Amino acid sequence: MNQELDGDPKWWGGRIPDNLVLNEFHPKELINWKRKRLEPLLSKFLFPVCWSLLLLAVGTLFSLLSYKTNFPQILGLILLILGPFSLGLSILYISNKHENSKPIQVLLSLFGRSRVLWFTIIIFILITSIIQKPNNAIFWNLAILPSIILWIEWLAFGSYYFSSPSAIWIMRYNSEIDLPMNELKSKGWDWQSDSLKPKNEPFAIKSTEGNILELSSINLGDEKKLVISWWQKGCIRSDPFVTKKMKSLAIPGLTNKLGYSTSDFDIEMLDGIGFLDEYCTN
């Protein structure tokens, strides 16, 4: 496989890790498709985790000890809140490192489940502190618990979705021929495009348990490519064709407790892909 498909060698320290190669597979249904590995994102998450935790810790310290110091209570509250918020913004920024990412969907996913509740509580406390400037010292400590919980929730979110290997699957094709919309629909694909010759857009999807298998058409240089992407529930793209042991390895104890779970890819999701083989020009 050429370097373009492997990705930039510096991602792997000069070579693809043996553990990754040994634990990825190529379904027979994708005989005409090639894996294009994307940049691993987990390493980019480590630094934001560290400095957001520092902000959270300093903000908590000043909020608890504000009555003994001359440090402005509102600044302590802001530092406290910046801990989880900076981590959430980092997740959004890192997810956008991959081409054709879905930042809006990632943003919505960040506020899924109970995270929207903790976010709402924090914003309410912040607005109240700005408008009313309460004198009660206890008030300035109310944001500590929801900020810590929200930080932990977003830590689990980022570690879970960024720790799986990322890849897309590509096939060069004849873009002058109408794609087989009806045939794909007959195999459970939901047609998304207004055209039978889609250009630079998703055109068909299958979904299961919040995860999406997406077919799209893109230009890579001067070549027209069909692309298969597997979007996890958090709208972070990963490679479905690796063994379960390679997925979501970071902080498994935390992610499992918070309800994140991994499963093997159901090969039946690829039903209908064979209709695209006749368009292959590789």
β-strand partners of 79? none
Residues, the chain, total? 282
Residues 147 and 168 in one domain: no
Residue 180 token pair: 């087989």
Strands 190-191 and 211-220: unpaired
Residues 64 and 23 in one domain: no
Q: Report the C-alpha gap between 35 and 37 in whole angstroms.
A: 6
> What range does the domain containing 238 cover?
3-40+164-279
Three-point CA angle 105, 109, 113, nearest 5°: 155
Residues 185 and 202 in one domain: yes
Q: Report the C-alpha gap between 68 and 50 in whole angstroms.
A: 27
Residues 168 and 226 in one domain: yes
Last residue of a domain, one of 120, 140, 161: 161
Overall domain count for the chain: 2
Last residue of a domain, one of 161, 177, 202: 161
Contact 260, 154 (CB under 8 A): no
Last residue of a domain, one of 123, 145, 161: 161
Residue found by looking up tokens 């630079």 in the block:
200
Residue 163 token pair: 């720790």
Residues 64 and 110 in one domain: yes
- Whole-structure pTM over 0.85, yes or no? yes
pLDDT tens, the chain, 282 aa long: 466 788 888 888 888 888 898 999 999 999 999 999 999 999 999 999 999 999 999 999 888 876 566 677 888 889 999 999 999 999 999 999 988 899 999 999 999 888 999 999 999 988 988 888 777 777 878 889 999 999 999 999 999 999 999 999 999 988 888 999 999 999 999 999 988 988 889 999 999 888 999 999 988 777 889 999 999 999 999 999 999 888 888 888 899 899 888 878 889 999 999 999 888 886
Residues 87 and 134 in one domain: yes
Sign of CA dihedral 178, 182, 187, 192: positive
